[in-house]
């Protein structure tokens, strides 16, 4: 007798409940949905107030529509995207001052 406690080979090797491949597909679908829900939850928790996720590759571009230009200039300087001289020149341009 090969049966045992769990309905023979179909109980374990058929991925449970005697459903065979259909059970395996449902099992796989279940875990894919769980993983997607966790990823969505993490992204939802990490998004900032503007609704832009930190994983956005062009964060400065995406935020440019909602932030003050001077603030964006400060962010670019803080990230090291521009030098101090470039920062001061651009700030003067925004404020309408001449640096020459």
76 with 99, same domain: the answer is: yes
How many CB atoms sit inside 10 A of residue 73's CB? 19
Q: Are residues 40 and 53 in the same domain?
A: no
Which SS3 state, helix, strand or coil, does residue 25 take?
Answer: helix
Task: Work out the pLDDT band at 20, boundaries 50, 70, 90.
Answer: confident
CA 55 – CA 46 distance, rounded (Å)? 9
Same domain, 39 and 54: no
The domain tally of the chain equals 2
Say which range, 19-28, 30-39, 81-90, has the weakest mean pLDDT: 19-28
**Which of the four pLDDT bands, split at 50, 70 and 90, describes residue 33?**
very high
The pLDDT, as a whole number, for residue 1 is: 47
Measured CA to CA, the distance from residue 73 to residue 53 in angstroms comes to: 20
- 15-43: average pLDDT: 84
Q: 98 and 58, same structural domain? A: yes
Residue span of the structural domain in which 67 resides: 49-100
Write down the pLDDT at residue 62: 53
End-to-end CA distance of the chain: 96
Q: 6-20, 24-38, 71-85 — which is least confidently predicted?
A: 6-20
């Amino acid at each position: 007798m090969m049966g045992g406690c769990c309905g023979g080979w179909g109980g374990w090797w058929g991925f449970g409940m005697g459903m065979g491949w259909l059970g395996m597909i449902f099992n796989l679908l279940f875990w894919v949905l769980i993983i997607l829900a966790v990823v969505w939850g993490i992204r939802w928790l990490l998004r900032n107030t503007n609704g832009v996720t930190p994983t956005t590759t062009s964060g400065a571009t995406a935020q440019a529509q909602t932030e003050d230009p001077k603030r964006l200039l400060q962010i670019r300087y803080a990230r090291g995207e521009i030098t101090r001289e470039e920062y001061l020149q651009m700030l003067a341009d925004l404020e309408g001052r001449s640096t020459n």
